[in-house]
Amino acid sequence: MRMTDKTHMLGVWMLFDHGVKDWFCQIAQHGPHTPWVMEYRFRIYLDDKIHGSEDEKRFFSLQFKEDTAKAVMVDVARKLSETLKGAGFGTEDWEILIDSRSPDVIFTRMSTCPHLHAARLETPEDAEAAGYTEIAEEWRRTGVCPLTKPDGD
């Protein structure tokens, strides 16, 4: 999942099952005049690494219609979280409403959840230190962080 300095983060949701699996969801707009998207992933733990792990992950996204109200988007995430929790996917649930474009605000609010480990990548060295070797290598080779590209996820 990605966030750039142009991202407007509406909120994040997480279901966590200690050491077994988790579900992470974010609703964001990745630039002015771009659609709001709900991006989420399921993760089954295979090792104890936070970043750069061999865990099994499945990513999904949906794009909201242009006129969708923020309250409706939040309700969609809440209902999906409730459904997954009811099906036994997580034992602990988190909702963090953010509604901001400020990376400082976004990272500060996300840090309130002890299970969210967001890596702020400002240099290829940051990417390397966070365990993103391939991203760091491409960044050094091209001079551009691959996560800031419109298609970089």
How does pLDDT run across 126-150, given as a tens digit for each residue?
777 766 777 778 878 888 777 665 5
* Residue 83 φ then ψ, to 5°: -65, -45
Q: Which residues of 95-121 are buried (b: 16+ CB within 10 A; e: fewer)?
A: ebebeeeebeebeebbeebeebeeeeb
Helices H / strands E in the chain, number of each: 4, 5
> Looking at residue 9, what is its pLDDT?
92
- Residues 80 and 51: their CA atoms lie apart, in Å, by 25
> Looking at residue 151, what is its pLDDT?
43
How does pLDDT run across 56-111, given as a tens digit for each residue?
889 999 999 999 999 999 999 999 999 999 998 888 899 999 999 988 888 888 88
> Looking at residue 2, what is its pLDDT?
66
DSSP collapsed to 3 states, 38-84: EEEEEEECCCCCCCCCCCEEEEEEEECCCCCCHHHHHHHHHHHHHHH
How does pLDDT run across 11-70, given as a tens digit for each residue?
999 998 877 888 999 999 988 889 999 999 998 888 877 666 788 889 999 999 999 999
- Residues 84 and 141: their CA atoms lie apart, in Å, by 41
